[in-house]
Amino acid sequence: MEILTPDEKKRLESMLQELHARGRELIERIAEARALGDLKENAEYHSAREDQAQNHARIQQIEDRLARAQVADNSALPEDMVFIGATVRLRDVDSGDEDLYRIVGETTGDMTLEYIEVTVNSPLGTSLMKSRIGETVRVDLPRGERRYLIVEIVT
């Protein structure tokens, strides 16, 4: 089972709506290409059919994901506990550097955010889950062990 933040669920639902709208456009594109005649050598028709298949596969993937996912409800959690959707300020114990990290189900890939996205299943995400402000967590990374102090949970 996958856990999503409410924002991630909204983003997936929005993406699904866009894909359904694109599906209607692709149907029109196929009809226009079909009207041009011979389908064997009709590149526009074959391109539109391929785009339609990819669009349909993406719709199925998102619908399946939404059906299996559970949306995190952080309202019942203590305010000082890290859980999915939390943005956490961490201090590297060795270097003293501080950074903001957000625990997410899936990263957006947006590098312009004020925080670094960390998935729940990543080594850092796993170490942070259910930890509290003031605790030091140990993270086993490919380059070795790192330790972080949880400074605050930013709302």
Question: 9-24: per-residue pLDDT in tens?
Answer: 898 999 999 999 999 9
Q: What pLDDT score was predicted for residue 77?
A: 62
Cβ density class 46-64: b for 16+ within 10 Å, e for less:
eebbebbeebeeebeeeee
Q: What pLDDT score was predicted for residue 97?
A: 94
Domain edges within the chain: 3-71, 74-154
Q: Please identify every stretch of the chain with a pLDDT value under 50, giving residue numbers as ranges.
A: none
Q: What pLDDT score was predicted for residue 131?
A: 92
CATH class label, 3-71: mainly alpha
74-154 is classed CATH 3.10.50.30: yes
Give pLDDT tens digits for 107-130: 888 888 899 999 988 999 999 988
**CA–CA dist 147, 136 (Å, integer):** 7
Residue type (1 letter), 46: H
Q: What pLDDT score was predicted for residue 76?
A: 61
Q: Tell whether pTM > 0.85.
A: no
Tell me which residue has tokens 């309202």: 75
Q: What pLDDT score was predicted for residue 55?
A: 95
Q: What pLDDT score was predicted for residue 1?
A: 66
